[in-house]
Structure 1
Amino acid sequence: MIDNSEVRAALESRDWSGAEVVTERPRAKIVHSVRLPAEWSEALEAEADRRGITPSRLMQDYILAGLQQDSAAPEGTVTISRAALHRAIDAALTSAA
């Protein structure tokens, strides 16, 4: 257990010989609010739980992936979900048979 005199001495110390100069400030985090339907919120929380992360972190991951995808996509490119792609392939194979 640390007694008050040790805490006071540490706070009053003027020895800066071990100090480190920080030249870059960390970027500020900005909060953006979004309203989701209850079912989206439940799905978001369930997926975050499955991954072992917070819903906030999962939304950050999704947003970053979307921004990177948009910037990497050539003009005229359409992005669809994997599930939609599988449905389209299944429909094409069914109609070809």
Structure 2
Amino acid sequence: MTIEDLRAELDAIDERFLEELRARVEKCVEIGHFKRANDVPMMQPHRIGIVQERAARFGARHGINQDFLHRLYDLIIAETCRVEDLVIGGSEA
């Protein structure tokens, strides 16, 4: 195996990761439509805690730094909240 082979495998993992991130954002668009149609507030602090705790448990099980995962999910959650806010406000994301 060469470094190029290893990098090609890493590139394939990155592609799958980004595709899953795109799917997550699309699901948040659907959630935004549901919230708008059902008068559900955009911000759900308890849900954020659930997501962060699940990521922390995953990190603990798999040896991934929990602070890193917390910061990563802070970014992901901030973006998905921005997207949901646009949808709830009547703008498409």
TM-score by length of 1: 0.25
| Larger RCO: 1 or 2 (CA < 8 Å, sep 6+) | 2
TM-score by length of 2: 0.26
Answer with 1 or 2: which has the greater Rg: 1
Structure number with higher helix proportion? 2
